């Protein structure tokens, strides 16, 4: 309370700087704030007190978790003994002069037990230096398991959107994470390379194509054609939507007016083209092959720049017709699907879902997105015999995936359904607005690189250490992008804020790269060894160094926690916790004429852990270049 009071007075005083003598007025507002503050502080204290009696303390973050212990409150409450009493008795019982631990001390009602400062280094340094790039990954599984990770999955008729970028980055991260933990990982890119949008593009191609423009810039031209036909199509789509809404308002399932609208104009042309494609019409298929190949070429170039690889460029087009028919038959046999106005649908309520209708085959007899995914699961499970499959797809697909999983369960494939996971994330993104219409995915990396020009202005010294060669700028641009993505929780809107790329704020790509480079610079010319003399370990026994070691000890734990959440932000927070320990410590080392063997070992361990974490995020640490 005294501190708060002092702060309030200081604030009042400070704010009224120019009206130093308006003291009375300040006194009045001062009393108002005090009357609010005191009761709320009392209330808070009381609440904390009650809460504390029944809680077990988990120390979060990464500091000292292995060393802190807390008393289980409920047991004490039951025995009727006061927690403080129990704690102080335990302190007395603790052996004096323990080889590994300092005497515990009481903090409130908690008993804190710490390893002796020099012990931390003795245990950890040899361990980290010995494990090197494999430090952090402990697989508890005896046999190798296989996971299929499906990610990126852009649609070839339209732009590579923010949600696809997010899927690419999160999916590649999840793949590396599984791989590090000893899984056999199959990476699949399930392209949106089939369906009505492709057919619409073909309709547009017939109207706006130019071989010359395609030769010059295939993807740019295709996007251009797509936007032109989209614009032409727009009024028809609006009319159809209105007819459907009107029908729904009147309580009719089927809108005759809508059917009428969709049976002519571009609607009819598009549906006709898609039917031809599904029927294997030669001209349609060769058009489709041509644009698919052009897109895959272009994506591959983009993924290469990001160091992302796929085992398979699959896609909606690659799903076998036979397996789709097989799924449809299964649905009919189990009486799960029914005909409705020429379409085949599943009433989700029948399957125990709250509501919804799933369309398996549409009115025009074409397969749907859902039918293709249903068949794709069966195909993949036969081809790869996976133990797990992760779909890294934006939340706009959530209903789709819950229908997919529910239908599989209803088809008596519960075991298979249990292996599937939809890792969803917010599809909201400002990326396409930032890049404008008709951009190619490479533009994402170009603007990130471009933004690095602002780094020297952000911090001349830091950017000076990193350098500005072409290679470094490229790597920094990608680091900035990756870290902004990785730091954003799955549920938050996709940031893509290029104005924040050129920054050395905590957790940014440039900042993490800077500290990594700084550690490497101090290490250059020195070889680390963990076989240290006693006095070297004692030299590491100060608070700063022991704290850094404590953070380094938490890496496997951070990896494990991340494996549960599949959120890269866990690793970002962890790396940030390391960098928070570095400024004083590195400055201290820089001031020394000779860097000690103990410090070299500590810095090398720090470098190893940072390298492992950065690589897990997909970042190439700069001095690696
Ligand atoms: N192409 C889809 C989209 O852009 C994502 C594909 C998701 N994967 C799947 N198996 N359905 O939204």
Q: Which atom number of ligand 1 is nearest to the Cα of residue 401?
A: 11
Over residues 527-553, the mean pLDDT reads: 90
Strands ordered across the beta sheet of 343-347: 337-340, 343-347, 357-361
The predicted pLDDT at position 58 comes to: 35
Q: Does 391 sit in the ligand 1 pocket, CB within 6 Å?
A: yes
Nearest CA to ligand 1 atom 10: 373
Q: How far apart, in whole angstroms, are the C-alpha atoms of residue 490 and residue 618?
A: 17
Q: Quick one: pLDDT at residue 398? A: 96
**Which of 68, 94, 69, 73 has the alpha carbon at shortest distance from 83?**
73
Average pLDDT over residues 261-286: 93
Q: Strand, coil or helix: what is 94?
A: coil
Instruction: Give the pLDDT score at 112.
Output: 81
Q: For 445-463, what is the mean pLDDT?
A: 96
Q: Name the residue with higher pLDDT: 14 or 334.
A: 334
Q: Ligand 1, residues 190, 299, 403: which to mutate, most atoms within 8 A of Cβ?
A: 190
pLDDT in tens, 482-513: 999 999 999 998 778 899 999 999 999 999 99
Tokens 């296989």 correspond to 146
Strand partners, 456: none
Measure the CA–CA gap between 94 and 36, rounded to whole angstroms.
45
Indicate the pLDDT class of residue 55, thresholds 50, 70 and 90.
very low
pLDDT grade for 117, boundaries at 50, 70 and 90: confident
**pLDDT for 622:** 94
β-sheet with 420-423: strand ranges across: 312-315, 184-191, 146-150, 388-392, 420-423
CA angle, corner 25, sides to 21 and 28, nearest 5? 140
**297 pLDDT more than 60:** yes
**CA separation for the pair 552, 575 (Å, rounded):** 10
279 to 197, 201, 285, 287, 550: CA distances (angstroms) = 17, 17, 9, 14, 64
| Cβ pair 455, 518 in contact under 8 A | no
Name which residue leads in pLDDT, 368 or 45: 368
Cα–Cα nearest to 370, from 340, 401, 396: 401
Predicted local confidence at residue 61, as pLDDT: 36
Q: How far is the CA of 192 from the centre of ligand 1 (A)?
A: 6
Which is more confident, 99 or 236?
236
Q: What is the pLDDT of residue 115?
A: 82
Query: What's the rounded mean pLDDT across residues 291-316?
Result: 97
Most distant CA atoms of the chain, gap in Å: 90
474-484 pLDDT, tens per residue? 999 999 999 99
Q: Which pair of structure tokens corresponds to residue 336? A: 């799960």
> How high is the pLDDT of residue 493?
85
pLDDT at 139: 67
Q: In this structure, which residue's CA is closest to atom 12 in ligand 1?
A: 397
Of 149, 151, 153, 381, which is best to mutate to test ligand 1, by the most ligand atoms within 8 angstroms of its C-beta?
153
> What is the C-alpha separation between 569 and 592, in angstroms, rounded?
35
Pocket test for ligand 1, best of 393, 421, 441 (most atoms within 8 A of CB): 393
Per-residue HEC secondary structure of 349-399 comes to HHHCCCCCEEEEECCCCCECHHHHHHHHHHHHHHHHCCCEEEEECCHHHHH
> Can you give the pLDDT at residue 20?
46
Mean pLDDT value across residues 527-545: 89
Whole-number Å distance between alpha carbons of 597 and 527: 9
Q: What is the mean pLDDT of the chain?
A: 89
Which string of b and e fits 345-364 if b means at least 16 CB within 10 Å?
bbebeebebeeeebbbbbeb
72-92 tens-digit pLDDT: 454 555 567 777 777 788 888
Nearest alpha-carbon partner for 393 in 107, 166, 73? 166
Segment 354-362 mean pLDDT: 91
Q: Confidence class of residue 197 from pLDDT cuts 50, 70 and 90?
A: very high
Question: pLDDT tens, 204-221?
Answer: 999 999 999 999 999 999
User: Residue 158: what pLDDT?
Assistant: 94
**Of 261, 213, 254, 272, the residue nearest 239 (C-alpha):** 261
- Which atom of ligand 1 is least distant from the CA of 397? 12
- Cα of 445 vs its chain's centroid, Å: 18
Return the structure tokens found at 441.
């995915």
- Please determine, for residue 585, whether its predicted confidence score (pLDDT) is greater than 80: yes
More confident residue, 16 or 499: 499
The residue to mutate among 397, 402, 421, having the most atoms of ligand 1 within 8 angstroms of its beta carbon, is 397
The position carrying tokens 């933990």 is 181
**CA 194 / ligand 1 centre spacing (Å):** 11
- With a pLDDT cut of 90, the percent of the chain lying above it is 66
Is 427 a pocket residue for ligand 1 (Cβ < 6 Å)? no
């Amino acid at each position: 309370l005294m501190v708060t009071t002092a702060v309030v007075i200081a604030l009042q005083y400070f704010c009224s700087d120019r009206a130093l003598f308006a003291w009375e007025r300040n006194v009045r507002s001062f009393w108002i704030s005090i009357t609010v503050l005191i009761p709320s502080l009392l209330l808070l204290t009381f609440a904390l007190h009650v809460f504390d009696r029944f809680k077990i303390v988990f120390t979060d973050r990464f500091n000292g978790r292995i060393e802190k212990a807390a008393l289980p409150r409920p047991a004490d409450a039951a025995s009727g003994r006061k927690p403080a009493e129990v704690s102080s008795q335990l302190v007395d019982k603790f052996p004096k002069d323990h080889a590994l631990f300092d005497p515990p001390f009481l903090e409130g009602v908690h008993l804190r037990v710490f390893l002796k400062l020099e012990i931390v280094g003795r245990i950890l340094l040899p361990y980290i230096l010995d494990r090197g790039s494999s430090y952090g990954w402990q697989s508890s599984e005896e046999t190798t398991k296989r996971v299929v990770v499906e990610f990126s999955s852009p649609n070839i008729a339209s732009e590579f959107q923010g949600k696809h970028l997010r899927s690419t980055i999160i999916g590649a991260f999840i793949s590396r994470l599984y791989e590090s933990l000893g899984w056999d990982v199959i990476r699949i890119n399930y392209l949106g390379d089939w369906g009505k949008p492709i057919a619409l593009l073909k309709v547009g191609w017939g109207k706006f194509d130019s071989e010359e423009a395609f030769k010059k810039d295939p993807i740019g031209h295709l996007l251009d054609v797509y936007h032109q036909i989209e614009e032409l199509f727009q009024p028809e789509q609006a009319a159809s939507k209105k007819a459907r809404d009107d029908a729904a308002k009147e309580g009719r399932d089927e809108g005759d007016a809508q059917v009428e609208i969709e049976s002519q104009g571009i609607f009819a042309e598009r549906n006709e083209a898609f039917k031809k494609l599904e029927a294997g019409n030669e001209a349609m298929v060769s058009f489709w092959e041509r644009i698919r190949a052009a897109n895959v070429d272009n994506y591959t170039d983009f993924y290469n720049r990001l160091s992302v690889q796929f085992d398979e460029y699959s896609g909606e087009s690659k799903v076998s017709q036979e397996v789709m028919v097989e799924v449809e038959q299964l649905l009919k046999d189990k009486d799960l699907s029914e005909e409705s106005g020429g379409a085949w649908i599943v009433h989700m309520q029948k399957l125990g879902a709250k509501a919804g209708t799933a369309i398996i085959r549409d009115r025009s007899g074409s397969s749907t997105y859902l039918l293709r995914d249903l068949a794709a699961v069966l195909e993949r499970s036969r081809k790869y015999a996976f133990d797990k499959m992760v779909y890294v797809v934006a939340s706009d697909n959530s209903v789709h995936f819950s229908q997919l999983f529910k239908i599989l369960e209803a088809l008596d494939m519960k075991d298979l359904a249990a292996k599937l996971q939809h890792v969803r994330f917010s599809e909201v993104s400002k990326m396409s607005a930032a890049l404008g219409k008709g951009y190619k995915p490479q533009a994402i990396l170009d603007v990130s690189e471009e933004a690095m020009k602002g780094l020297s202005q952000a911090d001349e010294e830091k950017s000076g250490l990193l350098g500005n060669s072409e290679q470094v700028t490229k790597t920094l641009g990608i680091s900035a992008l990756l870290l902004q993505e990785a730091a954003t929780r799955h549920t938050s809107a996709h940031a893509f804020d290029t104005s924040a790329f050129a920054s050395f704020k905590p957790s940014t790509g440039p900042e993490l790269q800077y500290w990594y480079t700084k550690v490497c610079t101090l290490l250059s010319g020195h070889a680390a060894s963990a076989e240290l003399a006693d006095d070297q370990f004692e030299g590491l026994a100060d608070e700063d160094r022991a704290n850094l070691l404590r953070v380094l000890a938490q890496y496997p734990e951070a990896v494990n926690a991340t494996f549960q959440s599949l959120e890269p932000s866990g690793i970002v927070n962890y790396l940030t916790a390391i960098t928070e320990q570095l400024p004083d410590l590195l400055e201290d080392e820089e001031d020394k004429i000779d860097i000690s063997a103990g410090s070299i070992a500590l810095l090398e361990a720090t470098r190893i852990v940072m390298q492992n974490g950065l690589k897990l995020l997909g970042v190439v640490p700069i001095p690696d270049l």
